[in-house]
Amino acid sequence: MMQVFDEAPQGIQTAPHEPRILAAGHQVSVREINLGAAHDKTSLMLAFLTGLGLRDTFGQNWDALYDVLTDPDQRPDRLALLLCDHAHFRRRHPHLNADLERVLLDAQAEAARTGRALWLLSEEPDSDTRHW
């Protein structure tokens, strides 16, 4: 079984089986971002708005997403984003995914610089047991 929370976040990692249970044991908050319905930038930002529980005043652009992910008043010190359907999203929308991953990885690096942790977990289907 993977223990991603035993070490510092390292890019986008494969989510372990039962990530919420493992995260709770490490005092990591988990937010689920469902990328399954995202087909353009607007629907992608809506997925983050919903998953992060943001208000409608969220700017819905790359800078606003970065700001939310790096603002210590907006998020816990130890946060994991569970990117549901990430592999499928990456294949369907390579250009949009490239922008998204750039923002997520920049936010992860900034979190590390300020002593916080941001795990980026790509969720695998429960039927795929190779990552357990």
Q: Over the stretch 14-47, which tens digit does the pLDDT of each residue have?
A: 998 889 999 999 999 999 999 999 999 999 999 9
HSE, CB side, 13 Å, CA atoms: give it for residue 55: 2
What tens digit of pLDDT does each residue of 57-116 get? 788 899 999 999 999 888 899 999 999 999 999 999 999 999 999 999 999 999 999 999
> How far is residue 55 from each of residues 8, 50, 74, 121, measured CA to CA in Å?
29, 9, 11, 24
pTM, two decimal places: 0.90
In whole angstroms, how large is the CA radius of gyration of the chain? 14
What tens digit of pLDDT does each residue of 59-74 get? 889 999 999 999 988 8
